Structure formats: C-alpha cells, structure tokens
A and B are shown apart, each in its own frame.
Chain A
Amino acid sequence: MVSQKIGAWIARLGWIWVDGQVAQITRRPGATTVFLTLRDPSADISLTVTTNRDVLDTGAPNLGEGARVLLHAKPDFYPGRGTLSLRADEIRQVGLGELLARLEQLKKLLAAEGLFEPAGKRRLPFLPGRIGLITGRASAAERDVLMNTRRRWPAVEFRVINVAVQGPTSVPQMIDALRVLDQDATVDVIVIARGGGSTEDLLPFSDEALCRAVFACRTPVVSAVGHETDTPLLDFVADLRASTPTDAAKRLVPDFGEELRLIRYARHRLDRAVTVLLDREQHRLDAVRSRPVLARPELMVEHRQVEVTSLWERGARTLDHRLTSAAGDLSHTLARLRALSPAATLRRGYAIVQAPDGTVVRTPRDVAPGDPLRVRLAEGEIAATVAEMPPAPGPPVGAQTERARS
C-alpha cells in the first residue's frame, strides 16, 4: 500500500538529463536489462540506473567503469525491493574532447568568479611547522615529496592523509582530507600531490567542487600534480603551483645547508662590522689620549715652572742691577761727602779756632787776651789761651798757631 503510493508519486516525476560517472556496470549474459551505478564525482552520492542493453549499445557501446556519461532518465520505484532507480532511455558516453571543452568552460567560470586571482593567493610560510600532504598511498608522489622535503630540511613534520587519486571516490576523499587538514591548527601548508597520468586520470584535480574547497581553505594549498605540462584547474586555484611533487619540496621548505651558509655569512659580516667599529673607536680614543695635554700632563706644570723660573730670574737680575747701581751711588755720594768735609783741609795743616761756646774765631776782634780757645787739628785739638793782642790789623791767632807749627 505504502509502496504503491510512493511508486505512484515517483511516477509523476518527469524525464531529466543526468550527468555522472559510472562506478559499476553489471551486464548479465542473456539479460536485456543492464544495471549501472552512477556516481556524482564531487559528492559521495550514487544511484542505480537501469537500462536496456540496446540503449547502451547504441549510445555507449564500450562503456567501462570510471567513464563519464550523460543520460536521459526517469525516476522509477521498484516496489518488489523498495528501491529507487533511474530508468534511462538514452545514454551517451562523454568523450575526451567534450570533457576538455567542459573543463575550459569551467575554467572560464571559475576565473570570472575570481578563484584564480593572484591577489587572493596566500603566501607560504618561510618554514612551515607542519605540512599536510594529500596523496595516494605509497605513491611515487608521496615518496618524492617526503624524501625531497626532508633532504632539504631534516626536521620537517608531515601529516599525511592518503586518498584515492583517481576514480570516482577521489574527489570526495580529497575534499574531506582538505577539511581535516585545514582545521588542524598545527598544519601550516597543505600539499596535494600526484604523479603523472592520463588526462582522464587527472580529471579529479580539475573538479569544480575540489577547486572551490581549495579556494575556501584558510591554509595555503600547494598543487603538485602530474608533470610540468599538466595543468589541472587545481593548479590555477592553488596558492602555489609546483610543477612536480619534487618541485613542491623545494618550495615548501628552505634548504638547510643553504640557510646555514647564509647565517654563517651574516654572522661573519656582523662580526666584522662590530670589530671594525671597535677598532675605529679604539683608534680615536688612543689619538685623544696621545695628545700632549693628556699624554704629558706634567707639561702643564713644567710650562708654568719655566714661567716661574724665568720671572724669578728676571726679578733677581733686576734687583742685582738696582743693588749695583745703588752701591755706585753710595760711593759717589760718599766721595762727595768726603770732598766737602773739612777733615782734608785740616790734614793739609789747617786748623780751626773756636771759642769755648764753639763759635769759629775769624778775626782778632772777637777775642781779648786771656780768652780760652780750642784749636782743632786734623788729628785732635789743643786748648790754648790768647797771650797778647797784636796791633790791629794783625793776622788771626789761628794763623799764627798754624805758622808756628810748620
């Protein structure tokens, strides 16, 4: 009852065109009905398709698993097993040329949406803490990335998620892996790597859903798919395109030896710069210290000593002159003094006659007979008395005395 109602409801759905990938194909010998499992290549969704062998032979005679098909079908409910399927009346295998044309169209669409803009590209870290690697299990690509990256930077860490890199399940697996790695805070960069393959093999790497997932990633994504000449759409949307998995290693991590060399060189220059600076400053300081004012501070005193000595000498000389000339003056004055003294006259035999009161007697009129007199000679004096008075005008008494002596 319920099945009938569901069947009736589904039967009302119209004919549609469906695009998908063949996951499985079952041709039973002798049976006219062929069963296909159709899968959406981006989402992990599949649906059973039933069709007539003639329809298949007309539209897609060599249909195999993994091929892309376009089919005209109507939803059909099979009450016997309660399953929903599509009943196709036309199946066309999508050829390589058509696939490439579609890719070109998708590329234009994504470019127009800005998914390839250089401004949107994130820079890779100089030295990633951890690298997320999405690649096939035990593949050459995995080995290439791991080995070459470790050779350049031995301490590098990886978180590897192995996925199917071709076939119908590869896109959903890669999108899941991307999400896991993007959410891992320790992963600084994500690499999607795969070795070379046919254009069909590389189709998952041009998948629209994968491209959008990569664009949505907050972690930088590196595309390392196929050979140099392969350019899946992933290459355009990724933040960095490596031509091969080996090339990816070069771009992921710096070369340890090279970095070591650069550091050594930088250290050497640093050393030199500081040494040169120190030497220059030492020279400047030495130059200042060798200037006479600092190197020979005794000069400060010596210069003044010379000054003092010369001044002292000048003083002494001056004083000496003064003394000499003063001595000359003195003897001269003494000579004059002596010249003026009566002593010399007395020595020549003159005498001075004085009254007792000291008055010099110059004429007989000054004395009377009996008056005491003092006669002064060169070497002493004589006390005398006036004996008589000659008739005037006689010579002075002193003259008589003088004459009497000589």
Chain B
Amino acid sequence: MTDELSYEQARAELAGVVERLEAGGTTLEEALALWERGEQLADVCQRWLDGARQRLDAARAARSDEA
C-alpha cells in the first residue's frame, strides 16, 4: 500500500507524522506507531529519489555512449 504512494503523498504524510510527533501529547504506543510510519514514509521518499537519480544517470550514460 505504502509503495503505491507518490513521492508528494509520502512527503506530505511524513511532514504530518513529524508534526504530530513533535507536538507530543500522544501515548507511547501511538508515538511508536507514528515513528514506524514516519520511517516507512521516509524510505518511500528516498526510494523515489534514488530511482529518479538512477534514471537520470542511465539517460546520461546512454547519451555519452551516443556521443
């Protein structure tokens, strides 16, 4: 499910999670669940960025092969 999130969706949800964590006032159980979700979302964001960078590098490599 998490993997179907777009980068923007994941980033927005991550910001929300961090805000709630920082605001405090949650139970430990909730805080743990929020943190786990935050880690998951940050991974999704990172995967998107890594993927984009790989594609960019591949395109660059293909181009320099051409040239």
Contact bitstring A262-277, B, C-beta under 8 A = 1, else 0: 0000010001001100
CB distance from B47 to the nearest CB of A (A): 11
Per DSSP, chain A at the interface is helix
What's the Cα separation between A284 and B11 when bound, in Å? 9
Partner of B52, one of A278, A285, A288, A300: A278
A359 interface hit (Cβ, 8 Å): no
Whether A285 lies near B11 (C-beta < 8 A) is: yes
Contact stretch, chosen from A74-82, A84-92, A291-299, A349-357: A291-299
What's the Cα separation between A288 and B42 when bound, in Å? 8
Whether B56 lies near A288 (C-beta < 8 A) is: no
- Given A267-B63, A288-B14, A289-B42, decide whether A294 and B35 contact each other with a Cβ distance below 8 A: yes
Which of chain A's residues have a CB closer than 8 A to the CB of B28? 300-301, 304
What's the Cα separation between A294 and B7 when bound, in Å? 18
Whether A278 lies near B49 (C-beta < 8 A) is: yes
User: Smallest CB-CB separation from A284: which chain B residue?
Assistant: B11
CB distance from A33 to the nearest CB of B (A): 77
Which of chain A's residues have a CB closer than 8 A to the CB of B38? 293-294
Partner of B56, one of A274, A285, A289, A301: A274
Whether B18 lies near A291 (C-beta < 8 A) is: yes
What's the Cα separation between A291 and B45 when bound, in Å? 16
Which of chain A's residues have a CB closer than 8 A to the CB of B22? 291, 293
Which of chain B's residues have a CB closer than 8 A to the CB of A284? 11
Whether B18 lies near A285 (C-beta < 8 A) is: no
What's the Cα separation between A246 and B28 when bound, in Å? 82
Which of chain B's residues have a CB closer than 8 A to the CB of A293? 18, 21-22, 35, 38
User: Smallest CB-CB separation from B36: which chain A residue?
Assistant: A297
Whether A294 lies near B18 (C-beta < 8 A) is: yes
Which of chain B's residues have a CB closer than 8 A to the CB of A271? 56, 60
Whether B49 lies near A275 (C-beta < 8 A) is: no
A selection of 20 A-B contacts at a CB cut-off of 8 Å is A271-B60, A274-B52, A281-B7, A285-B42, A285-B46, A288-B14, A288-B18, A289-B42, A291-B22, A293-B21, A293-B35, A294-B35, A294-B39, A294-B42, A300-B21, A300-B31, A300-B32, A300-B35, A301-B28, A304-B28
Q: Which residues of B contact A (CB under 8 A)?
A: 7, 11, 14-15, 18, 21-22, 28, 31-32, 35, 38-39, 42, 45-46, 49, 52-53, 56, 60, 63
